[in-house]
Amino acid sequence: MEKFVIGGSVVLGAAVVATAWWLSATEMVPDSLPVAPPPPARTAPAMPAQAPAVQSANGTTLADQVDALIATHDPHKAFEAYRLLADCATFNQNGDRLIFEPDTTPHRDNDGMLPGFRTLTDPEKRHEAALCATMTERMRQSRLDYLELAAQAGIPGAAMAQVTEGPFGDRTALAMRPDDPLVKEWKARVQQRLEHIAEEQADVGVLSYLSAMRTVGSDVFDKDPAQAFRYGVATSLIMLELAGPDNELARLYRPDGGLMQNAAASLTVTERAAQLIEAQRIANLARARRLQAAPQP
């Protein structure tokens, strides 16, 4: 079996993604779906999915499932259609894909893969092969339209999935055509969407993801110490309130911890203080949104 090995340059971002995704799966934070880390040289899938997606066929064809989802005109269902097609595109390309399954896959190094991730079992591969064999090129391309519908509607996870897909579904465009006006416009749009979700929705998955990306930099996100510090500390404050001081994200992103001290190394004392105020504002927003969403007695 091929091993999906993650390069050292993305360890920080990948670890944060896995942890935030696990929090989402356990419903401790809103239904966010952070993207997978950038693929290594050979065969890492473009977008892992949570384990139940493997069992979603229920005897119907891929086209039937997608048509039923899109017929609802619900952007949440459009995102489901995207995920279904993206999973099949990955499987058809690689003969396998990653699944995030924290309940059964230990949070430790797993044959070179990220903690909590696994590849498909043989029965799952047979199921996936039968389901995805009927996917046409038109269906594969349509996933990007469904993803754009979901992202425009602000569906959690959609904007980060767009980062995974790259401009027009082509991540090589970021390196091959960085000065292309269309590529630049795409980058600006996805950055704006994610920053809006972080600032106005206080989504923990997006906050932790952006903090990691703004710390290490990527082909989509330049390094930004102020944003990395603000969003990281906001993540810590939110998770401290949600899950207590022993929570992994609360500890990882605490303002006096090594990760945040390194991220903010170039900031002055005044600049750090200003970002701490902004981080608290975001944490307060998260609390207010939880209270608003809580059932009324």
> How many Cβ atoms sit within 10 Å of the Cβ of residue 49?
20
Output the tens digit of pLDDT for each of the chain's 297 residues.
Answer: 333 333 323 334 444 444 444 344 333 433 333 333 333 322 333 334 443 333 444 558 999 999 999 999 999 999 999 999 999 999 999 999 988 765 555 544 445 555 567 889 999 999 999 999 999 999 999 999 999 999 999 888 899 899 999 998 998 999 999 999 999 999 999 999 999 999 999 999 899 999 999 999 999 999 999 999 999 999 999 999 999 999 888 999 999 999 999 999 999 999 999 999 999 999 999 999 999 988 877
Helix/strand/coil for 64 = helix
User: Does the pTM exceed 0.85?
Assistant: no
List the one residue out of 164, 166, 175 whose CA is nearest residue 87.
164
Element (H, E) at 112: none
Looking at the chain, the whole-number percentage of residues with pLDDT higher than 90 is: 65
pLDDT at residue 156 in the model:
82
Rounded distance between C-alpha atoms, residue 8 and residue 241, angstroms:
32
Q: At what angle do helices 11-25 and 204-216 cross, to 10 degrees?
A: 180
pLDDT at residue 115 in the model:
59
State whether the Cα torsion 118-121-125-131 is positive or negative: negative
| Edge-first strand listing for the sheet containing 49-50 | 49-50, 98-100, 117-119
Element (H, E) at 117: strand 117-119
Tokens standing for 24?
């989402």
List the one residue out of 244, 209, 245 whose CA is nearest residue 228.
209
Rounded distance between C-alpha atoms, residue 289 and residue 297, angstroms:
17
Rounded distance between C-alpha atoms, residue 147 and residue 46, angstroms:
14
List of residues 6+ apart from 281 with CB closer than 8 A: none
Q: At what angle do helices 269-293 and 225-243 cross, to 10 degrees?
A: 40
Rounded distance between C-alpha atoms, residue 248 and residue 217, angstroms:
22
Tokens standing for 268?
């002055």
